[in-house]
Amino acid sequence: MKIDRLISIVVYLLNHGRTSAQKLAEEFEVSSRTIMRDLESLDQAGIPIQSFYGVEGGYQIMDSYVLEKQVATNHEYDWIVTALEGMASAYASKNLKHALEKVQSISHTSSTAVSVDLGVASEDDKIKEQLMLLEDAIEEKYVVHFSYTNSHDDIKDIQVEPVCLQYKWYNWYLIGYYEKYQDYCMFKLVRMDNLQTTDIKFTTNHKLSDLKMKDNNDDIVHVKLYGKAAIKAKCREYLNGRITQEFENGDFEFSFSVPKHETFWYGVILSFGNKARIIEPQEIKERIIKTCKEIQMEYGE
């Protein structure tokens, strides 16, 4: 929308100072002529924009101008900046970048004692392209189509209404709505191929607060293990659960909940070797026994 772009231009100029019309056109992905009309609209609205000519020419807002109607304290805006910076370290979105700049233009103290780096959530180029395509499809309310390899290595053609993107369990997921089944499902982006936006519009007005998702990828399993004292810190670090009982020799019982078919937590348990033993459920015990036998056969006695 034009009003959103006008506000973003004001914020950009406040943060970056003198900027050429060409640079603004590239930043907001419009023509230079559109930028000139936007700058004229801002000037007519009372925003004091100055123009400069020559090699270092461009447009800037007078130093005396400040945004008003602040709705939070500077310290509160610092926390918002911290949160947005953390998200920006994982998600390269133009909209996110502009939102961050808007808040940065209000908050200048940078006094928070906490920083957030979510770089671990930053994926390869394929996932980044998928994230951008899905974000646009969600915003424009268009159905998407892709081929999907589920946790059992079955490949299916999927067509859903993309509702939102979510980062959890060390991966990016899409929450999509099956209009045919009137149900929500989760899809891991790394398992998607041939992702495309269709020209089919949404049939339903989705509210995130009302989502009741069916996770078609991974059933959640509740695991309890007995661990030797030596792996206590690693259990806390990698399995994100809690110690339910401790013994005099330092050994302990540990409970955690995870997606059944995810690889990460299962690999962590295998890496503990004989320092960990699954107490329940039985199916995980049997799975580990089977895996260990297969490994032994692969390497020979």
Task: Give the pLDDT band (50/70/90) at residue 7.
Answer: confident
DSSP helix/strand/coil, 190: helix
Sort strands 142-149 and 155-168 into parallel, antiparallel or unpaired. Answer: antiparallel
**Is the entire prediction scored with pTM above 0.85?**
no
Q: Which of 141-145, 151-155, 187-191, 194-198 has the weakest average pLDDT?
A: 151-155
Q: Is CATH 2.130.10 what the domain over 125-214 is classified as, yes or no?
A: no
Name the fold adopted by 220-299. Alpha-Beta Plaits (3.30.70)
pLDDT digit string, tens, across residues 246-295: 999 999 999 999 888 888 899 999 999 999 999 999 999 999 999 999 99
Specify the higher pLDDT residue, 18 or 15.
18
**Tokens 């992702």 found at:** 195
Q: Using alpha carbons only, what angle is made at residue 260 by residues 246 and 266, rounded to the nearest 5 degrees?
A: 60
Q: Is CATH 1.20.1740.10 what the domain over 2-61 is classified as, yes or no?
A: no
What are the residue boundaries of the structural domains of the chain, listed by start? 2-61, 74-119, 125-214, 220-299
User: In angstroms, rounded to a whole number, what is the distance separating the alpha carbons of residues 273 and 225?
Assistant: 13
Q: Span 184-211, mean pLDDT? A: 88
Instruction: Give me the DSSP letters along 216-232.
Output: SS--EEEEEEEE-GGGH
Q: Using alpha carbons only, what angle is made at residue 263 by residues 258 and 266, rounded to the nearest 5 degrees?
A: 65
Within its chain, how far is the Cα of 77 from the centroid? 21
